[in-house]
Chains A and B, each alone.
Chain A
Amino acid sequence: MSRVLAAIDCSQCRQPLENPQRCRSCGAFQAHDPRRDHFSTLALDRSFDLDEAALERRVVQFSRDLHPDLAGGAVGGKARAVLGAAQVNEAYAVLRDRFRRGEYLLQLGGGPTAAQDKAVPDGFLEAMLDERDAVDAALAAGTEACDALAAKFTATLRGHEAVLTRAFADLTRLGDATAAETARADLRGRLRRELNVMNYHRTLARDLREGRRDKEGA
């Protein structure tokens, strides 16, 4: 599933493209490529274990390349810049959030989506009710309790991320040979359940954060 970016040349001046949407040498906008995904939009390899510093750098550089205020005089340049910059922004929003990055990678790998498979481990939903109570209790108790619970949620989310990193790496290693289809489907199912569980924890962490904010704001 990982794919090292093939070097692409500018359709006008034939220089290698750093930004797939616009050539830095001659300023030409490149034709829209329907195969482009959020990773290739930012010239990043398709992987869960992303170099996040590189992601930030790319977004800044590409935003400059595609900024509508600098679109130049070419006919339709402004419209291309708007679309290109919007794609960069959308890609950034998806890839910077590790949960959304995982969802997106799974979708690229053939799913299933959360709507198709809502499975979670036995007893998980009951446990979540307790966790929900813990959020309310921490909010009532005050800063220290909230800090402790937030730290616990952060550790849980880091754990999910570690599992996702390994599972996506395994999926890549399986390659796309027909013989490995059963193994791949099994792995995708595991990824689905991991993401389902992670989503619950993510929501809890967010509710705690917003609950604190509202309390402080009041």
Chain B
Amino acid sequence: MSGVGESGVSGNDGERNDNELIVGIDLGTTNSLVAWFGPDGPVVLRDESGDPIVPSVVTYRQGETVVGRAALALAIEHPNTTLWSIKRLMGRGFADLGPAERAALPYVVAAGERGLAKVEVDGRLVGPEEVSALILRELKARAERRIGRPVAKAVITVPAYFDDAQRQATRLAGKLAGLEVVRIVNEPTAAALAYGLDRTKDGVIAVFDLGGGTFDVSILELREGIFRVRATAGDTRLGGDDFDQKLVARLLDRAPAAAVVDASLRQAVKQAAERAKIALSECDSVQWGVVDERRGVEIDDTITRAEFEALIEPEVARALACCRRALADAELAPADLRAVVLVGGSTRVPLVRRRVEEAFRRKPYIGLDPELVVALGAAVQADILRGGARDLLLLDVIPLSLGLETYGGAAAKVLMRNTPIPAQASDTFTTHVANQTAIDLHVVQGERELVKDCRSLGRFRLRGLPPLQAGMVRVDVQFLVDENGVLTVHAKERFTGIEAAIEVVPSYGLTDVEVARMVDESFRFARQDFEAHQRIDLENECKTMLAATRAVLAVGNHGLDEAAREEIAAAERAVGALLGGNGAVRELKAVYDRYVTATVPLAGIVMSEVAQAAIGGKTVEQVLASQPTGYAETTPKPPALEVGAAGTVVLDRVRIGAKVDAADGGNCGALGEGFRAAPAPRMEKVVGKLDWKDTEEIGIRLFERQPKVDPLTVRFTELHRQICALDGFVGDPKKSNEKVLEAIQMAWLDEYQAAH
């Protein structure tokens, strides 16, 4: 529980800024999400196709990195350089990972400096923080794209059971991605915050969070708007990945002799297993397998849900043992709970739901999508830190006990697990050797009795003790843990008053030099990335403007005077000269601004023309006849399941050998996403309020109703009427045509260009 000494926390102290943007990030083992607290509450930020998830997968390919769905699609082609489940390595030593755990990962895990677990990619060692940083950078870019503002701060969630080194590694990953991590929040606590928004009745709830790689259970009490964590328990090595591994092992057992279990086959089997697992949540029996076209090998299996449940029963039992411990720690019985909340994709598995219901003796509550809820809660906490919401507060706890090494290698606990933070406690220690003039204070974290079984967090020395007999010296040691979980230890000798203190930085972590190098590198990348990003956005805007103006001018002169026409032409040439180049973004911005200014008179003329145009009544009836389509339906639907003999669902076998194209989103979807359960209702703005400022969204919705509209042949008044009739529209019904035109531009640009 300590910090690398980032400035973020104190920066929050004096200057609260309502414009300060802090996003909430759920950095998951298999999937990651980013959310923010928008004008209408917490919203998960989706990509352009409505997908909320960035798979936590990174592929290294010829010196470049690919993140998310695209990386997932490359996994079979690049099995050794596609990294998934990297969260499992965060902040852990090579020796901490058992051989079985390492064997389950298709990439090579090696020991780096000081025994830290690293991944070997193309002959060099990459830290899990660096890989996580790439995922975070992707999320950051998505947030910037969707919100339209730079993002520099984030609240990141971690499993409640993450120890200090794992939290440190997460902070570092944020730093490497150019994000100031203003708070690390426990995932279940974040989930409770998300629920707390609409369920403000006091009471105790249990949050059961089974994700891809980690399991947490937390008992939280909500009382007068304050969330108190009563107990947490969990297992950092238990999750949906383990369910997949059971299926992987089962399928590989059925492999014919000709099969060669190489990395590509492993990746294919893993992806097939994940699909089979998901299908088994809805069907009683699934036929699944892989085809290795390189060797002409097919491996097939049919598995019933009952067989699958027997395979994963031990893992589920482990999770339930944690639940009992958490209840006992909180000194509560199942009857004392008001609700049990499910979080994490793996809680979709029916056996999990059944066992939870049995253990807590009540039906679990599933009001929010278990996959989105943690990110939403992180956004709520971000809003609290920004100074927004004040009616809901969080009192988190220390996940693992903190203590000091005493004589003989025993660990004396000073602050117990589940103590609420901020926390302080003190204890008195003495010398064991006569005339000892210095004491080494070794700070440790963990539940075990011996120091060697605990995690070492740091050491410091109290010098200048009076040379007394053993046991005579009195050293008062005080532990203080702040709201970020950063531990400061202060030691003072009672008679002489000499003292020493440290803010604990884990001895385990990276050295300052290493951190500095990594931060420097990532900043360089971040600047490049940012510039490149800005440039792409600006170029796209330029192209759009050019095309639109050309289309308008192609129809006629619109009564524009000669000088105005020439200025437009000159500005167009200036823009054209810089497009596709690699000059500074600044220059492009300058010519873009000139162009925008030059076209202002034309825009005014066209707008009034369009407003007066009275053509094309037919489109009105078509529009009215078309069914309103909610945005949620535009999310790609899972393909229909093919039902084979005896009610067994037959999955397409994952193929190796077929060329996989990273850019083909559809293909990625088929591999990883094919059998995801139906998308949950969108949490975004769309289901909430819609205003004139949301022209992009309005355009999209109008386009969905009437994709064939010629924007220049539709009556403005008619479009205006349609917009006011959209679900959730709350804008002023008398608003000008300017916004309608903007909406048209957003949605019908291609049509517009094609038509002219």
**Does any Cβ of A come within 8 Å of B711's Cβ?**
no
Whether A73 contacts B16 by the Cβ 8 Å rule is yes
- Shortest distance in angstroms between A83's beta carbon and chain B's nearest beta carbon? 7
The proximity string for B residues 1-39 relative to A, scoring 1 for CB distances below 8 Å and 0 otherwise, is 000000001101111100000000000000000000000
**Does any Cβ of B come within 8 Å of A122's Cβ?**
no
For B14, the chain A residues whose CB sits under 8 A away are 73, 75
Whether B393 contacts A63 by the Cβ 8 Å rule is yes
The proximity string for B residues 555-586 relative to A, scoring 1 for CB distances below 8 Å and 0 otherwise, is 00000000000000000000000000000000
**Does any Cβ of A come within 8 Å of B91's Cβ?**
no
A85 CA / B226 CA spacing, docked (Å): 13
CB-based nearest B residue for A93: B419
Complex interface residues of chain A between 50 and 87 (CB less than 8 A to chain B): 56, 60-61, 63-64, 67-71, 73, 75, 77-78, 81-83, 85-87
For A81, the chain B residues whose CB sits under 8 A away are 422
**Does any Cβ of B come within 8 Å of A35's Cβ?**
no
For A69, the chain B residues whose CB sits under 8 A away are 384-385, 393-394, 483
A78 CA / B13 CA spacing, docked (Å): 6
**Does any Cβ of A come within 8 Å of B361's Cβ?**
no
Q: Which of B9, B393, B423, B481 contacts A67 (CB 8 A)?
A: B393
Whether A68 contacts B482 by the Cβ 8 Å rule is yes
**Does any Cβ of A come within 8 Å of B328's Cβ?**
yes
Whether A216 contacts B324 by the Cβ 8 Å rule is yes
**Does any Cβ of B come within 8 Å of A181's Cβ?**
no
Whether A82 contacts B482 by the Cβ 8 Å rule is yes
CB-based nearest A residue for B391: A64
Q: Which of A61, A71, A89, A216 contacts B420 (CB 8 A)?
A: A89
**Does any Cβ of A come within 8 Å of B236's Cβ?**
no
Complex interface residues of chain A between 175 and 217 (CB less than 8 A to chain B): 209-210, 213, 216-217
**Does any Cβ of B come within 8 Å of A7's Cβ?**
no
**Does any Cβ of A come within 8 Å of B425's Cβ?**
yes
Whether B13 contacts A73 by the Cβ 8 Å rule is yes
Q: Which of B225, B321, B384, B421 contacts A64 (CB 8 A)?
A: B225
Whether B224 contacts A213 by the Cβ 8 Å rule is no
Whether A63 contacts B226 by the Cβ 8 Å rule is yes
- Shortest distance in angstroms between B56's beta carbon and chain A's nearest beta carbon? 29
A93 CA / B230 CA spacing, docked (Å): 12
**Does any Cβ of A come within 8 Å of B223's Cβ?**
yes
**Does any Cβ of B come within 8 Å of A117's Cβ?**
no
Q: Among B12, B13, B16, which residue has the most Cβ atoms of chain A within 10 A? A: B13
Q: Which of A60, A70, A82, A209 contacts B328 (CB 8 A)?
A: A209
Q: Which of A60, A61, A89, A217 contacts B422 (CB 8 A)?
A: A89
Whether A82 contacts B480 by the Cβ 8 Å rule is yes
Whether B223 contacts A86 by the Cβ 8 Å rule is no
Whether A89 contacts B423 by the Cβ 8 Å rule is yes
**Does any Cβ of B come within 8 Å of A129's Cβ?**
no
A83 CA / B423 CA spacing, docked (Å): 8
- Shortest distance in angstroms between A54's beta carbon and chain B's nearest beta carbon? 14
A166 CA / B480 CA spacing, docked (Å): 36
For A136, the chain B residues whose CB sits under 8 A away are none
- Shortest distance in angstroms between A132's beta carbon and chain B's nearest beta carbon? 20
Whether B13 contacts A89 by the Cβ 8 Å rule is no
- Shortest distance in angstroms between B378's beta carbon and chain A's nearest beta carbon? 14
The proximity string for B residues 357-392 relative to A, scoring 1 for CB distances below 8 Å and 0 otherwise, is 000000000000000000000000000110000100
For B481, the chain A residues whose CB sits under 8 A away are 86
CB-based nearest A residue for B482: A82
For B385, the chain A residues whose CB sits under 8 A away are 69
Whether B425 contacts A90 by the Cβ 8 Å rule is yes
**Does any Cβ of B come within 8 Å of A218's Cβ?**
yes
Whether A63 contacts B325 by the Cβ 8 Å rule is no
**Does any Cβ of A come within 8 Å of B544's Cβ?**
no
A213 CA / B228 CA spacing, docked (Å): 23
Whether B390 contacts A86 by the Cβ 8 Å rule is no
A81 CA / B224 CA spacing, docked (Å): 19
Whether A217 contacts B321 by the Cβ 8 Å rule is yes
Whether A218 contacts B226 by the Cβ 8 Å rule is no
For B320, the chain A residues whose CB sits under 8 A away are 217
Whether B480 contacts A60 by the Cβ 8 Å rule is no
A87 CA / B426 CA spacing, docked (Å): 12
A61 CA / B384 CA spacing, docked (Å): 18
The proximity string for A residues 23-61 relative to B, scoring 1 for CB distances below 8 Å and 0 otherwise, is 000000000000000000000000000000000100011
**Does any Cβ of A come within 8 Å of B610's Cβ?**
no
Whether A86 contacts B480 by the Cβ 8 Å rule is yes
**Does any Cβ of A come within 8 Å of B395's Cβ?**
yes
Whether A210 contacts B419 by the Cβ 8 Å rule is no
Q: Among A56, A82, A93, A218, which residue has the most Cβ atoms of chain B within 10 A? A: A82
Whether A83 contacts B424 by the Cβ 8 Å rule is yes
A68 CA / B395 CA spacing, docked (Å): 10
A73 CA / B10 CA spacing, docked (Å): 11
- Shortest distance in angstroms between B640's beta carbon and chain A's nearest beta carbon? 42
Complex interface residues of chain A between 129 and 178 (CB less than 8 A to chain B): none
- Shortest distance in angstroms between B320's beta carbon and chain A's nearest beta carbon? 8
Whether B480 contacts A83 by the Cβ 8 Å rule is yes
CB-based nearest B residue for A68: B483
A217 CA / B10 CA spacing, docked (Å): 43
For A217, the chain B residues whose CB sits under 8 A away are 320-321, 324-325
A90 CA / B423 CA spacing, docked (Å): 7
A45 CA / B364 CA spacing, docked (Å): 42
For A213, the chain B residues whose CB sits under 8 A away are 324-325, 328
CB-based nearest A residue for B488: A82
A61 CA / B224 CA spacing, docked (Å): 8
Q: Which of B226, B420, B422 contacts A68 (CB 8 A)?
A: B422
Whether B393 contacts A86 by the Cβ 8 Å rule is no
For B224, the chain A residues whose CB sits under 8 A away are 60-61, 64
A87 CA / B384 CA spacing, docked (Å): 23
Whether B226 contacts A60 by the Cβ 8 Å rule is yes
Q: Among A56, A63, A77, A83, which residue has the most Cβ atoms of chain B within 10 A? A: A63
For A92, the chain B residues whose CB sits under 8 A away are 420
Q: Among A77, A87, A210, A213, which residue has the most Cβ atoms of chain B within 10 A? A: A213
A68 CA / B15 CA spacing, docked (Å): 14
- Shortest distance in angstroms between B44's beta carbon and chain A's nearest beta carbon? 23
CB-based nearest B residue for A218: B321
A78 CA / B390 CA spacing, docked (Å): 16
Whether B13 contacts A71 by the Cβ 8 Å rule is yes
Whether B324 contacts A77 by the Cβ 8 Å rule is no
Whether B328 contacts A64 by the Cβ 8 Å rule is no
Whether A83 contacts B422 by the Cβ 8 Å rule is yes
For A90, the chain B residues whose CB sits under 8 A away are 423-425
- Shortest distance in angstroms between B204's beta carbon and chain A's nearest beta carbon? 12
For A73, the chain B residues whose CB sits under 8 A away are 13-16
A67 CA / B424 CA spacing, docked (Å): 15
For B13, the chain A residues whose CB sits under 8 A away are 71, 73, 77-78
Whether A78 contacts B422 by the Cβ 8 Å rule is no
Given contacts A63-B226, A89-B420, A210-B328, 4 further A-B contacts (CB under 8 A): A60-B226, A69-B483, A77-B13, A90-B425
15 CB-based A-B contacts, threshold 8 Å: A63-B395, A64-B225, A64-B393, A69-B385, A73-B13, A73-B14, A75-B14, A82-B422, A83-B424, A86-B481, A89-B420, A89-B421, A90-B424, A92-B420, A93-B419
**List of 5 A-B pairs having minimum Cβ-Cβ separation, nearest first:** A217-B321, A86-B424, A86-B422, A68-B483, A85-B422
